[in-house]
């Protein structure tokens, strides 16, 4: 699914160079749930941005579903982000002046999907996250947990192959975090690959694998479970 070899990423200013990723190599299997941990500044988010084609990298190779993405044009990267990747952020990142329905609609719109098909997918995704009755609400009218569920609906409505979640429970209390985690696990059980950055060791242990990053390098890898073949082959589902 994801195959990174010797990826390096350096942030440069006039006076300082910061090596965010150094010879970073990681292989993620289809349907796998991988937790990324590490201290602040260790390179977790940079890894997620590179994996999500939000940032280019300076060295190494990256294959996503067998496709070398290092030489893609900006438009091709946008298309892959739109069709194959779903994003979930710590701060939910919903568009404040769009209602929940329109927020979920945003990525489908950029796919130029017909309105009827979009409607079907949006309602299904919102039903799945339990927000069918809130689709006309603005994000500000929802609780943090509901907002994150709306963000998850947005991430899954396009049936992505992989979901990249950057501390999805970071802004939520324990109960809400548990609900979100269960939702992510259920999506993963449907075959969608998930890479989740977290500071929470308990949540990390619920993944198949925990990858611990220190100074832009993989420091440790812990295995907690295996990917079920059936679910791995099933692909994503909204």
Residues of the shown chain interacting with another protein in the complex, contacts defined by CB under 8 A: 45, 49, 52, 54-55, 74-75, 78-79, 81-83, 87, 89-91, 93, 95, 97-98, 106-107, 109-112, 154, 158, 166
Q: Which is nearer to another protein, 66 or 96 (CB)?
A: 96
What is the separation of C-alpha 45 from the centre of its chain, rounded to a whole number of angstroms? 11
- Write down the H helix ranges in 85-143: 100-110, 115-128
Tell me how far, at minimum, the Cβ of 154 lies from another protein, in Å: 7
User: Would you state the structure tokens that stand for residue 21, as one six-digit string?
Assistant: 């990723």
Tell me how far, at minimum, the Cβ of 224 lies from another protein, in Å: 27
Note whether 195 and 226 are within 8 A (CB): no
Tell me how far, at minimum, the Cβ of 230 lies from another protein, in Å: 29
Q: Which is nearer to another protein, 70 or 78 (CB)?
A: 78
Note whether 103 and 150 are within 8 A (CB): yes
Q: Is the four-CA dihedral 29, 34, 38, 44 of positive or negative sign?
A: positive
Q: Which is nearer to another protein, 60 or 227 (CB)?
A: 60
Q: Which is nearer to another protein, 35 or 48 (CB)?
A: 48
Tell me how far, at minimum, the Cβ of 111 lies from another protein, in Å: 7
CA–CA separation, 58 and 8 (whole Å): 6
């Amino acid at each position: 699914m994801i195959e990174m070899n010797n990826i390096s990423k350096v942030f440069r200013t006039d006076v300082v160079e910061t090596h965010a990723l150094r010879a970073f190599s990681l292989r993620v299997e289809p349907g796998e749930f991988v937790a990324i941990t590490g201290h602040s500044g260790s390179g977790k988010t940079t890894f997620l941005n590179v994996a999500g084609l939000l940032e280019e990298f300076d060295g190494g190779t990256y294959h996503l579903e067998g496709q070398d993405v290092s030489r893609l044009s900006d438009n091709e990267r946008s298309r892959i982000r739109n069709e194959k990747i779903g994003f979930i952020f710590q701060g939910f990142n919903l568009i404040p002046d769009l209602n929940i329905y329109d927020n979920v609609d945003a990525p489908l719109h950029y796919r130029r999907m017909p309105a009827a098909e979009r409607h079907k997918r949006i309602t299904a995704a919102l039903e799945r996250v339990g927000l069918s009755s809130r689709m006309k609400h603005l994000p500000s009218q929802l609780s943090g947990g509901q907002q994150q569920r709306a963000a998850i609906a947005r991430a899954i409505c396009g049936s992505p192959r992989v979901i990249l979640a950057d501390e999805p429970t970071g802004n939520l209390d324990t109960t809400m975090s548990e609900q979100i985690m269960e939702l992510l696990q259920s999506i993963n059980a449907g075959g969608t690959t998930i890479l989740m950055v977290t500071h929470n060791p308990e949540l990390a242990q619920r993944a198949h694998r925990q990858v611990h990053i220190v100074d832009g390098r993989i420091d440790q890898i812990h295995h907690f479970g295996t990917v079920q073949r059936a679910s791995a082959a099933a692909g994503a589902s909204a």
